[in-house]
Amino acid sequence: MLIGILALVFALARLIPGDPCRAALGERATDEICEAYNERYGLNEPIYVQFGIYLNDIAHGDLGESFRFGVPVTELLVERLPTTIELSITALLIAVVVGVPLGIISGYRHNSKTDVATMIGANIGVAMPVFWLGLMLQYVFAVLLRDTPLALPPSGKLDAGLIPTPFYEVWGWPMNGFTEFLAKFTVMNALVTFQWEILSSAMLHLILPAVALATIPMAIIARMTRSSLLDVLGLDYVRTARAKGLAERTVVVRHALRNAMLPVVTVVGLSFGALLGGAILTETIFNLAGVGKTLFDAITSRDYTVVQGFTLVVAVGFVVVNLVVDMLYTYLDPRVRVS
Amino acid sequence: MSDPTVPPQPPDEGMPPTNVTDPMPAMAEAFAFEREDEIERAVGEGFAASGGDVSGHATGGLWRTAGRELLRKKSAVVGLVMLTVLVFLAVFAPVIAPYDPNEVLFSEGVAPRDAPCIHLLGCPDDQPQHILGIDGNGRDYFSRLVYGARVSLLAAFVAVTFAMVWGTIVGLIAGFFGGAADNVLMRLMDVLLSFPSLLLAIAIVSVLGPGLINAILAISVVTIPQYARIVRSSVLSIREQEFVAADRALGVGTWRLLWHRIFPNALTPLVVIATLGIATAVLEIASLSFLGLGVQPPTPEWGSMLAAERNQVFTAPHLVFFAGLMIMWNVLSFNLLGDGLRDALDPRLGR
């Protein structure tokens, strides 16, 4: 499985047409310079040797060096991954916090006005193109609502001029790759070091992209919660619980919801992949230097190693999340363990 | 992921599994040899209760009932109507659109990104009417939107058809032959599935080069695993059933068995997934075009139209708004239709 992912990532990156040397050096690329360049980055070797080198490097935690920026890919990842993680987690939180209750209400009050409205909303939510929603949110909150308290910044990560102090400087921790990585989580970093101005600015900048990104998973979660709750409420054990005279609240919350949430967990996990895909669009629109935007820029400028490294990390992250969801599922649902 | 959409269809449910579709008898003729025709008859008699396709007493039964069921669902009807409007726009685009979508109208006295001008709403009569305004290159925006329906529908349809054909082939082979073929093919599908679909599509397009055809290809490849999995799991559940065993005992050839006995049974979930898949394809083609990897200008396509006016969202929001609205309209219609079809075709829901 892992080898398959690695091979595909490698193949895709190498198949991108165009000469990386010319893409990286542009006008300056003469034949001699390119020769030296290819020599340096191992691009002269046969393709299977390149793949072998690639595998060996990966095993040593080396994702290569960006042709374009001249810095190791891992360094780029340290810098940009936190933005995407922060964005995705915020979006997922919004999606769950809004989607699950909506789904419960419309599942419980099946066919009521709330239900119909939620389901119409969910249908529209799934159908909305993320990039369009992002642009519309920008228009509404940065143009129409300008000069009102509801105005929100349309792009970037922080207000201009704000530079957060990394927590390791505040706490006197050593600066290394890992602490640097952690410090790039702007919201968390500001929170633990009490930089309130930065915190509020970072959170305000996060709202629009996160909402844009959250819409589709929110709609999917709401629908899943609803249909799952409906299924469970029709089961015999719920009728038994009601017949025992349990309070309606207990029946729904303690008995039905527990089982109804099982498929929802899966959906939440699967949404993560959609979030990562959507992050490419959202980050481009909101001008956030995260994994998605970097990856897209790298593809258009044929920065092989960055494409490989970032695609690999995203794919592995996706697989790991799915694995965790599977394990969580076994933990939550003992029936799976038995069978 | 596949279980809710793959209803088991035991042949004793009054829903003969060999009978689910109309084009099958025609295909049967194409495949049949004389000897197999006799076998067919024998099988037909043997399975009179569940109806072989020679008896034909319930031909199209599932689809007709499903159609009725579909029309009873309000959301499905809404989807159908929305889709009809869209298809109408696409087919009659030259009649509906007042201008050629690529015609630059500066000679008619318009400025880039002119606001909409509608005579009925008080726009002076001496100005030419442009009900959705003018885009950044001086073209009639409404005409471009109308023509965009053609691109969007066609591209999504082609992408899904391609994915469905390959997914079916992979699924049939993997499910029916099992063993090594199954292992290799499904591992391959797993690898494809372990990338977020848009990411993989972007990577593939960057290999093939931007363009409509390549975008369609990329989106198809990314979705093949879905169809392969559905078909495979249908095949697995059908393969061991008695009517297949009977066919096999009577010496029906492998390919005939696949096409004639097994494929029709996998068709119902396939149709549902394909309908919903068109919605996703519409969205992904628009996304790729938005990123500049799909349809290239000047072809009118909603995603690339949106991208072209993206930075004008603060000054000319109507140029962004309506293109997105059309994408949403398209996606919504197929989603509603697909959901309706799923409910209508699911025998578990009972009627």
Band of residue B153 on the pLDDT scale cut at 50, 70, 90: very high
Q: Position B28: which residue type?
A: A
Cβ-proximal residues to B92 (8 Å cutoff; 6+ apart), any chain: none
Angle at CA A95, nearest 5°, toward A91 and A96?
120
Q: Give the pLDDT of residue B35.
A: 44
Q: Give the pLDDT of residue B60.
A: 59
d(CA A187, CA A164) in angstroms, rounded, equals: 10
pLDDT at A63 over 50: yes
Tokens standing for A153? 């910044």
Q: Give the pLDDT of residue B334.
A: 92
Band of residue A179 on the pLDDT scale cut at 50, 70, 90: confident
User: Are A129 and B191 within 8 A, CB to CB?
Assistant: no
User: Are B207 and A16 within 8 A, CB to CB?
Assistant: yes
pLDDT at A94 over 90: yes
Classified as helix, coil or strand, B117 is strand
A81-163+189-338 is a CATH 3.30.565.10 domain = no
Mean pLDDT of A150-172: 77
Classified as helix, coil or strand, A169 is helix
Q: What is the pTM of this model?
A: 0.79
Tokens standing for A195? 């930089």
**Locate tokens 């309706």: which residue?**
B340
Band of residue A337 on the pLDDT scale cut at 50, 70, 90: low
User: Are B207 and A15 within 8 A, CB to CB?
Assistant: yes
Contact present, B159 and B197 (Cβ < 8 Å):
no
Angle between helices B212-239 and B179-193 (to 10 degrees): 140
Please name which of A186, A163, A156, A164 lies closest in space to residue A283, comparing C-alpha atoms: A156
The nearest CA of chain A is from the CA of B116 a distance in Å of 18
* Residue of A92, A116, A131 best to disrupt the B interface, most CBs of B under 10 A: A131
pLDDT at A133 over 60: yes
Q: Give the pLDDT of residue B333.
A: 93
Tell me which residue in A5, A127, A139 faces B332 most closely, judged by beta carbons. A127
Residue A105: C-alpha distances to residues A73, A124, A154, A222, B228 (Å) = 46, 18, 33, 10, 36
Provide the chain A residues 163-222 that lie in CB contact (below 8 A) with chain B.
none
Q: Give the pLDDT of residue A233.
A: 86
Least confident of A176-185, B37-46, B315-324: B37-46
Nearest residue of B to residue A322, measured between CA atoms: B194
Q: For the segment A215-270, what is each residue's pLDDT rounded down to a tens digit?
A: 989 998 998 899 888 888 888 888 888 888 888 888 888 888 888 888 888 888 77
Q: Where are the domains of chain A?
A: 2-59, 81-163+189-338
Band of residue B156 on the pLDDT scale cut at 50, 70, 90: very high
pLDDT at B278 over 90: yes
* Residue of A132, A144, A312 best to disrupt the B interface, most CBs of B under 10 A: A132
- Kindly report each contact of residues B91-99 with a partner whose C-beta sits within 8 Å and lies 24 or more positions away, as own/partner: B93/B146, B93/B147, B93/B149, B93/B150, B96/B146, B97/B140, B97/B142, B97/B143, B97/B146, B97/B147, B98/B129, B98/B140, B98/B142, B98/B143, B99/B139, B99/B140, B99/B143
d(CA A214, CA A81) in angstroms, rounded, equals: 18
Phi, psi of B117 (to 5 degrees): -130, 110
Band of residue B53 on the pLDDT scale cut at 50, 70, 90: very low
Q: Give the residue ranges of DSSP H helices in A151-195.
A: 167-171, 177-183, 186-192
User: Are B290 and A131 within 8 A, CB to CB?
Assistant: yes
User: Are B287 and A299 within 8 A, CB to CB?
Assistant: no
Residues in chain A with CB shorter than 8 Å from the CB of B222 are none
Question: Three-class SS string for A290-303?
Answer: CHHHHHHHHHHCCC
Q: For the segment B296-329, what is each residue's pLDDT rounded down to a tens digit?
A: 888 889 988 888 888 887 888 888 888 899 999 9
User: Are A135 and B310 within 8 A, CB to CB?
Assistant: yes
Residues in chain B with CB shorter than 8 Å from the CB of A127 are 279, 283, 328-329, 331-332, 335
* Residue of B313, B322, B327, B331 best to disrupt the A interface, most CBs of A under 10 A: B313
Residue bearing the bigger pLDDT, B237 or A338? B237
Residues in chain B with CB shorter than 8 Å from the CB of A271 are none
A151 close contact with B: CB closer than 8 A: no
Nearest residue of A to residue B187, measured between CA atoms: A1
Residues in chain B with CB shorter than 8 Å from the CB of A16 are 206-207
Contact present, B277 and B285 (Cβ < 8 Å):
no
The nearest CA of chain B is from the CA of A161 a distance in Å of 24
Contact present, B225 and B189 (Cβ < 8 Å):
yes
Please name which of B348, B349, B305, B297 lies closest in space to residue B324, comparing C-alpha atoms: B305
Q: Give the pLDDT of residue B48.
A: 39
Least confident of A134-138, A141-145, A325-329, B123-127: B123-127
**Locate tokens 């691009």: which residue?**
A43
A23 close contact with B: CB closer than 8 A: no
Residue bearing the bigger pLDDT, B3 or A132? A132
Tokens standing for A81? 């991954």
Q: Give the pLDDT of residue B24.
A: 43
Cβ-proximal residues to B22 (8 Å cutoff; 6+ apart), any chain: B59, B60, B63
**Locate tokens 């969007």: which residue?**
B152
d(CA B63, CA B85) in angstroms, rounded, equals: 24
Q: Give the pLDDT of residue B42.
A: 43
Q: Give the pLDDT of residue A268.
A: 84
Cβ-proximal residues to B272 (8 Å cutoff; 6+ apart), any chain: B5, B338, B341, B342, B345
Percent pLDDT > 70 in chain A is 90
Tell me which residue in A16, A124, A130 faces B206 most closely, judged by beta carbons. A16
The nearest CA of chain B is from the CA of A247 a distance in Å of 30
Nearest residue of A to residue B201, measured between CA atoms: A277
Give the number of other CB atoms < 10 A from CB of residue A40: 11
Q: For the segment A17-30, what is each residue's pLDDT rounded down to a tens digit?
A: 666 666 666 666 67
Q: For the segment B175-197, what is each residue's pLDDT rounded down to a tens digit?
A: 888 888 888 898 888 888 878 88
Tell me which residue in B191, B202, B306 faces A131 most closely, judged by beta carbons. B306
Mean pLDDT of B209-238: 89
* Residue of A12, A111, A118, A135 best to disrupt the B interface, most CBs of B under 10 A: A135
Cβ-proximal residues to B176 (8 Å cutoff; 6+ apart), any chain: B235, B239, B254, B257, B258, B262
